Amino acid sequence: MLRFPRLLLPAVLAATLTSALPADEGMWLLTAPPRAQIKERYGFEVTDPWLEHIRLSSMRFNVGGSGSFVSADGLVITNHHVGFDAIQKLSTEQRNLVRDGFHAKAAGDEMKCVDLELNMLVSIEDVTARVNAAVPEKAEADASNLARRKVMAEIEKESLEKTGFRSDVVTLYQGGAYHLYRYKRFTDVRLVFAPEQTIAAFGGDPDNFEYPRYCLDFSLFRVYEDGKPYKPQHFLKWSKDGAADGELTFVFGNPGNTSRLLTLPELDFVRRLSVPMQKATLKARESLLISWSARSAENARRAKDVLLGIQNGRKVRDGNAAALYDPVFWQAKVKGESDFRSRLAQSPEKFGDALAAFDKIAEAQKRVNEIFPRFRMIEQGVGFASDSFGYARLLLRAAEERAKPNGERLREYGDAGKASFEQRLFSEQPIHEDLEIVLLSDSLQYFAEQFGPDDALVLKVLDGKSPRNRAAELINTTKVRDLAVRKQLYEGGQAAVDAAKDPLIEVARILDPEARSVRKEWESLSETKKQAQGALARARFALEGASNYPDATFTLRLSYGAVKGYEENGQQIPPFSTYAGLYERNTKQNNREPFDLPTIWQKAKTKVNMKTPFNLVTTHDIIGGNSGSPLVNRAGEFVGIIFDGNLQSLSGDYAYDDRQGRALSVHSSGIIEALDKVYGATAIVAELRNGKR
């Protein structure tokens, strides 16, 4: 599924895109929609009223997702996996809404969510001039930053006071433009309907990112105001037949973040070092946990969540690698950068800074490549995978950092993050000693293999023992898994931590000089790159203005595209899956997890129309954060809901590619068929069809 955010380690951005966009590319600003392209490709005229209608029908979920109004009585549709957090928080031991689903048959049954916030984008204002005016022209980077942050905060405060709306100044084009987004906030949100998780995420990890799919990945909420259902001025009418093959559709949603503007040396680092190393680590960890899980049911239970996360990550990295090693994909990137450079070179007097920025980035990146393996192993802790080591390092560093003035501390030990830091350090989550030993011994072995058995740090850490025996010794003798000990050491500060002579804290101490030094260099290189990228972004915006789209910022964007199958391994993959396909897959898998169906679905088998479309693929340019975005037709009607991309769409972090990459939606007719024939949710069906209760 589309998880939010899908961050790559080096979250750095730069401007390289050519303005000649292929096909249906782009996550467009609503203030600068690609009217000409849409008109040219699809003969459709994007009008202001049409845009406003959909903008005011769209919703942003604060948990990291999108949604839309689908009735005049404030009914909102999103993904099940976007609503998941709220659904889980409403569950109790006796009432497992995640497993069993939920259906409010009467208005009074709707359940108020704990901390769900929805935002409706009411206006957008360009405040670039005011922001830039507040920044002194010749200021140092730090002073500029400070001045910029100050004026942005002022604008937000003023706006909030004046309008009462949530007001966010959004940095677009990495500083090329600043827009003030005003949102109407909804905090009384109630759960109306959720299917069972087994059908919402049918096929689980094995089918994750695959297609054809059969996921009923939607849930329904109702927005209330003053204790009554909110009556939105705008909502999406439910389409009678849903999306058809080849049809032009639109996605309105909040894509989280992309790294489309990385320069070639940065992207080359991703493909040669970062992604292959992450792949190797994830697959080794997966093998380890699968093997350990097979030893007992209890082991399997303990490792399950971690393993699922690893498997999701492994699919994402495999997808990234597939894109980055595709010569066609890469050549497009090369051409993009080369074209951009040529355009800059035409006005060297104007773009001198930008042209120099390329070299600055390349130089910094060279050093990043060199230090990355040690940064990753020692500071990011890949060589010390275990919760116990995590605690040991937090305790060691907290003692040192808290003794310093706030401004001089490592970021995560600052006063601002104190509460969340302490929440993390004093977590009461269960830690399993046996799993800790398995994880630490495997990662110490990896540490020794990568750096070599004679590496000075390896020798010090292993202390003359094998990785396996050293891990067992450390995990068995450390006291940091004891909450009381953590509290005592944290409160006792440096003296207490030193006196403890805890073996795992001592290992963290052995690592710390190099860990701190490599981190310092890493952060300084990142800052150098960021400033150079700023110069590129400004140059690019100067050339293109808003004729191109900015990297994703978790704000409302418009994508356009068509319902369209694709070819894979020489086979044509049809655009729609159907109910027949769902039941067939369930039968072929002998109803085994994660291909099992809830009883109510088994019973409904004779009632549903097997030809009803279930999921579909489209060419839209989407990314994590787009989950729950409505798929809208020319008439502005709801024809489906985005819930995932296929494996080939995982190139989307770096570039749009529609040769095989596709966005996945649940078809609107598939939703109605389930509500009607499977769940007998006649009132909801009527509300969706009529656009009101």
| Contact set with a copy of itself (CB under 8 A) | 205-207, 210, 271-272, 276, 279-280, 282-284, 286-287, 290-291, 294-298, 311, 314-315, 321-323, 325-330, 434, 437, 445, 448-449, 452-453, 459, 462, 464-469, 472-473, 476, 568-570, 588-590, 592
Q: What CA–CA distances, in Å, run from 416 to 241, 406, 407, 412, 677? A: 52, 9, 11, 9, 52
Give yes or no for a contact between 76 and 65, defined as CB atoms under 8 angstroms apart. no
For residue 101, which of 36, 191, 172, 28 has the smallest C-alpha distance?
191
CB of 657 to a copy of itself, least distance (A): 10
Q: Is the peptide bond before 453 cis (omega within 30 degrees of 0)?
A: no
CB of 479 to a copy of itself, least distance (A): 15
> How far is it, in rounded angstroms, from Cα 378 to Cα 512?
8
Q: Which of 373, 417 has the CB closer to a copy of itself?
A: 373
Beta bridge partner(s), residue 219: 78
10 Å CB burial of residue 680 (0-12, 13-18, 19+) is middle
10 Å CB burial of residue 124 (0-12, 13-18, 19+) is middle
Q: Which of 138, 588 has the CB closer to a copy of itself?
A: 588
> How far is it, in rounded angstroms, from Cα 222 to Cα 111?
9
Q: Which of 276, 381 has the CB closer to a copy of itself?
A: 276
Q: Which of 482, 527 has the CB closer to a copy of itself?
A: 482
Long-range interactions of 489-498: CB distance < 8 A, separation 24+: 489/395, 489/399, 490/395, 490/398, 490/399, 490/422, 490/425, 493/399, 493/402, 493/403, 494/399, 494/400, 494/403, 496/399, 497/395, 497/396, 497/399, 498/399
Q: Which of 219, 450 has the CB closer to a copy of itself?
A: 450
Q: C-alpha 174: how far from its chain's center?
A: 19
Terminus-to-terminus CA distance in the chain, angstroms?
Answer: 32
- 665-674 burial, b at 16+ Cβ within 10 Å, e below that, comes to bbbbbbbbbb
**In the block, which residue shows the tokens 């005049």?**
72
CB of 270 to a copy of itself, least distance (A): 12
Instruction: Put residue 95 in one of left, alpha, beta given phi > 0 → left and psi -120 to 50 → alpha.
Output: beta
Q: Which of 329, 679 has the CB closer to a copy of itself?
A: 329
**In the block, which residue shows the tokens 């966005």?**
663
Taking residue 484's Cβ as centre, other Cβ atoms within 10 Å add up to 8
CB of 196 to a copy of itself, least distance (A): 20
CB of 593 to a copy of itself, least distance (A): 10
Cβ-based neighbours of 420, under 8 Å, separated by 6 or more: none
CB of 322 to a copy of itself, least distance (A): 5
Beta bridge partner(s), residue 578: 613
Q: Which of 21, 290 has the CB closer to a copy of itself?
A: 290
Q: Which two tokens stand for residue 215?
A: 């996921």
> How far is it, in rounded angstroms, from Cα 693 to Cα 452?
69
Q: Which of 427, 476 has the CB closer to a copy of itself?
A: 476
Q: Which of 167, 311 has the CB closer to a copy of itself?
A: 311
CB of 368 to a copy of itself, least distance (A): 18
Q: Which of 286, 521 has the CB closer to a copy of itself?
A: 286
> How far is it, in rounded angstroms, from Cα 525 to Cα 370?
12
CB of 618 to a copy of itself, least distance (A): 21
Q: Which of 138, 592 has the CB closer to a copy of itself?
A: 592
Q: Which of 164, 206 has the CB closer to a copy of itself?
A: 206
CB of 320 to a copy of itself, least distance (A): 11
Q: Which of 43, 452 has the CB closer to a copy of itself?
A: 452
> How far is it, in rounded angstroms, from Cα 467 to Cα 143?
48
Q: Which two tokens stand for residue 447?
A: 């540490």
CB of 127 to a copy of itself, least distance (A): 43
- 32-41 burial, b at 16+ Cβ within 10 Å, e below that, comes to bbbeebbeee
Q: Which of 271, 605 has the CB closer to a copy of itself?
A: 271
Q: Which of 325, 426 has the CB closer to a copy of itself?
A: 325
CB of 433 to a copy of itself, least distance (A): 9
10 Å CB burial of residue 271 (0-12, 13-18, 19+) is middle
CB of 420 to a copy of itself, least distance (A): 34
CB of 99 to a copy of itself, least distance (A): 20
CB of 211 to a copy of itself, least distance (A): 12
> How far is it, in rounded angstroms, from Cα 168 to Cα 162?
14
CB of 460 to a copy of itself, least distance (A): 12
φ and ψ of 408, to 5 deg: -100, 0
